[in-house]
Every structure is written in C-alpha cells, then in structure tokens.
A and B are shown apart, each in its own frame.
Chain A
Amino acid sequence: MEMFWGLAVSAILLGCTYTLVAIGFSLFFGVMDVVVFCCGDIAIFGSFAIIGAYAVAQSAGLFGVFPFWVCVILLILIGAVFCAAWGLITHQLSIKPFQNSSELMPLLSTIAMGTVIKEGLGLLFKPVVNTISAAFDRESAVTVVSGRNPQGFPSLLLPDGTVGARYLTIIVITAVILLLLFLFLNKTKMGMSMQAISQNKELSLMTGINVSRVIIITFLIGGVMLAVSGFLVGSYQKLMSFDDGAMYGAKGFSAAVVGGLRNTWGAVIGGMLLAFVEVFVSGYIPKGTAYSSIAAFVIVVIFIVFKPDGIIGDKSVEKV
C-alpha cells in the first residue's frame, strides 16, 4: 500500500508538469486551430532562462540585496518574460505567415521553431550567460561549460524544506495556476473572448472581438504558463538538459489530445491520465519501465481511434 501511495504522488507530480504544457497546447489550438509543436521547447527555454538569470543574479550579488523570496519571484518573472516573448515570436514568425496555407505548414514551422529554440540554447546559453555574469563581477562569475551539458536547476522552491513540502508546493502552485486560469477564462472579458474565438472564430469577428489582439495575448499568456511549467519541471527534476523539450512537447501534446485539444480541463485530466499510466506501468509491471512511455502513447492512439473528441467529449458541436 505504501508503494501505491508513493506511485500516486509521483504520478500527480509528473501529471502537473505534463498538464501545464498540455494547457499551452490547448490554449494555442483553441485560438489558432494549429498545433504549436514547440510548447515543450518554450517551457525548457523558460527553465534555462531561470538558470541563466540565477547565475547572473549571483554574480551581480542580487541575493544579498533582496530577500530570497523576492529574488525567486523576480527569476520566475524573467522566465515568464522570455517565454512570453517566444510565444509571440512563434506566433509572428511561424504561425501568422501561414494562416491561409495548409494546416501542415504551421505544424512544420512550429517544429522548426522548436529546433531553433533547442539548438539556440545549446549554442548560445554558454556565451550569453558567461558574458553577462562576467560583466558584473569577474571574480565570482559563473562559467557555464556548455549549453549542451545538463544544467543544475537552482534550489528556489523551499530550499530548506523537506522533499514532501517541496512536492506539495509544486502541486499547490499547479492548482493555483489552474484556478487563476479558470477565473481568467470565465470571468474576464479577455478570457471569454479566447473561448469565443475557440468556439466560433467567424462569429467572434462579427461580435466585434479584436481577434488578432486576443490571439497575441493568448500567446503571451500561454508563454507565461509555459514558463511556470519550466520552473516547476526544473524544481522537480533538478537537472535540465537543453533537449528535454522534445519529450515534454510530445507528452504535453499527447495529454492535450487525450483531453480533447480545445478543452483546458481535458488537458488536466489527459496530463494526469498519461502520468498515472506511465508511473503505474513502470511501478507495478516487473521490468516495465522500458515500456512506460510506449504504454502512454498507446493510450493516445486508443483515444485518437475511439474517442477523437477527447476524454470530455464535445457532443454539442454545431455543424455550420
């Protein structure tokens, strides 16, 4: 029984990291009708931005000036700014130009954007961080050996707390983000507009929603969510690799598909389902770990075949 609960906690934590990426997918799909394949890479970019900003903040002596928690929030904000910027760049460069072409185009161009983000991290993370941190203080400058090496994620989340407390915080932060997202989507004009565009783009135009503005804001907000995801993944995983984004992207996308691509709550359930399948296959089947990812993707295929609308089936779609 102890093992069951241990596995359940692991699954929930893993599910949290998948969920936030999956929500990125479903937000973008909702307003643009395209699968933005670089969500995972943007999230990993966020965690690298936080690692880099932490290194720079240390050389700049920021941690001596402000209280620790202020620094943590600042670092997360920096990650959020970077990810929001990437969200915007992705929209402007690899989605908007292909609006009127085949659906495959933005698919390919966002995969390409993911490669740009990933390889960019591998190549530029080292010179950029080293240059900025050396500019502050030559003595205590942080030297990143290579952007392609695994990077240690700083202990920003309850560095003195127990492991259990840290896990709980990750779950709570995810829950709070989901709650905020829920309130935003249902209680604000902007959130309602996003839903409107997702449900009926033509009618949204007719009701006077400034659709292009809402789309841009969606990409900014999606970027911020991915940054928080990157922060949580980093805090949970401790060691980040520049190419982790592909795996998170694949898992996040699968979770979004299982949940029904447009459905934000489906993304939560999809993320959790995927994580539970993975963890329990790995945990309860002898030598099962090698097959855990396969099991998760089998679930996705089953959903695509038998329930393409996702777990929260959307039966009330109007045929227009």
Chain B
Amino acid sequence: MNGTVDNTLEISGLDTSYGRIPMLRGVSLNVPSGQVCCVLGANGAGKTTLVKAILNMVKADRGSMKLEGKNMDSWPTHKRVKSGIAISAAAVGTFHKMTVEDNLKMGAYYIDDSLLQERLGEIYQSFPVLRERLRQKAGTLSGGERTMLAIARAVVNKPKLLILDEPSLGLAPIMIEEVFEIIRRLRATRQMSILLVEQNAVKALSVAGCGYVIQKGAIAFSGTADALGRSEFVENPVM
C-alpha cells in the first residue's frame, strides 16, 4: 500500500464520444484529497459528460482513472459508488414517489442499518430542513429542499469523493447562499474531497482550492482557484 495518496481522484487522457461524435478529448484532472476542486464551463462544454464518465455511466474510449491511487477503469458504476464516489446532481432529481427518509436511505445503499441510523442523525443535524420533511414525498419538496436532499443523500455514504453537479441550478439567490454554506461546512468538517461542477464561477471559486475550465470537451485551464479567479476565463463574461 502507498503510505500517502495525494489525489483522491486522478484522471488522465480521458476521451469519450457520443456515437461517432467526440465529446471529451484528452481530459486530465486531479482532485487533491481533502480539497474542493471546481470545474467551470458553459452549457454543453462537457461538464456533465465528465461527471458521468467518472461514474462509468458514459464509457471512456481512452484514458484512465484512479480513485485513491487504485485504477478503477474496469469497475462498473455500482462498484465505483460502493468504493466511495458519491454524486449529487441537481438535474437528475430525486426518487419523487418516495419519502425524504427513503430517499436518504437509498443513498446509503451499502451501509448496514445501525450505522445508517447514526449517519441519518448526523444528516438531520446538518440539514434541519429535511428533518421536518422526513415523511413527505420528495416530489412535493421545493427546489431548494430538493437540492438539499440531493446533497444529503450523497453525503450519507461518507464518500471519499463527493461530486456536486451544478448545485446552484435553478435556485433563488438566498438558496444558493445556503447551498454554498453547506459546501463550506462539508469542507471544514469532513474528510472528503469535493469536485464541484458549476456554471456560477464566482460562487464556485469562493469555496474551491483548485479549478479547471472545460471548453468544447477539453481542459482549457488548470491551476489554483486564485489563479483561475484572475484569469481571462472568469473575467471574460462570454464564458
């Protein structure tokens, strides 16, 4: 075993395609352990494809991926999740006909019952709004509550790598503030690395330590969050 692993996630030279149309081209990306890393990009730049490729929901044509140093190229989706990758994607929604509690339990698919109760307790501490809605069907929640639920569901598992796919999508400014407050708390209190995929560059950079910009399926910038904040990508409103 390696004594220390610097990166929770390492992606090198990742290519994907949709049918015959290439999507990602030579994407290399690292998420250092314990850090928040953001990926910025416009609609259709390949952000969601990247997220799905990390979970093997989109097949990689080339390239390799490592989770805490272990090559995971051959792992199917459920094994990647079991090994510690959790994803919260606002666009994918919830299990709308299940209660909030059942949604959380589905997130903890690989945890046994006693540990589950403990984890749920922790979750209710961090997400008090969900505790009030436990017996309510997820489909009846407001947009902000649904985003909270999606994040909570991903966190129940205590993943090594948490992927947040556009958590601010479709939320009111006050809710966006709350979501990023939670991300800050997660960064401060938990030993998990976070890959934050966002369109809202200002918000994302306010919590991230490192950043990437993805354009037309390729990495256009990589560096620290500070460097990214000063770069043309953030200052240029066209992005």
Contact = CB atoms under 8 A, between A and B. Distances in A.
Direct A–B contact in the complex, CB atoms closer than 8 angstroms = yes
Interface of A: 189, 192-193, 195-196, 199-200, 202-211, 314, 316-318, 320
Interface in B66-121: 76-78, 80-82, 87, 89, 91-98, 102, 105-107, 109-110
Interface residues of B, number: 29
B94 A318 contact: yes
A199 B98 contact: yes
A196 B106 contact: yes
B102 A192 contact: yes
25 contacts: A192-B98, A192-B102, A192-B105, A193-B109, A202-B57, A202-B92, A203-B92, A203-B94, A205-B78, A206-B55, A206-B81, A206-B87, A208-B77, A208-B82, A208-B110, A209-B106, A210-B76, A210-B78, A211-B78, A316-B139, A316-B140, A318-B93, A318-B94, A318-B139, A320-B91
B153 interface: yes
B137 interface: yes
Contacts, number: 76
Interface in B171-221: none
Contacts of B140: 316
B89 A206 contact: yes
Interface of B: 55, 57, 76-78, 80-82, 87, 89, 91-98, 102, 105-107, 109-110, 137, 139-140, 153, 157
B191 to A, nearest CB: 20
A195 B97 CA distance: 9
Contacts of A193: 106, 109
A196 B55 contact: no
Contact of B98 (A195, A209, A211): A195
A207 B109 contact: yes
A193 B107 CA distance: 11
Given A189-B109, A316-B139, A200 B95 contact: yes
Contacts of A208: 77-78, 80-82, 109-110, 157
Name which of A202, A207, A211, A316 has the most chain B CB atoms within 10 A of its CB. A207
A318 B81 CA distance: 24
Contact of B107 (A202, A207, A210, A211): A207
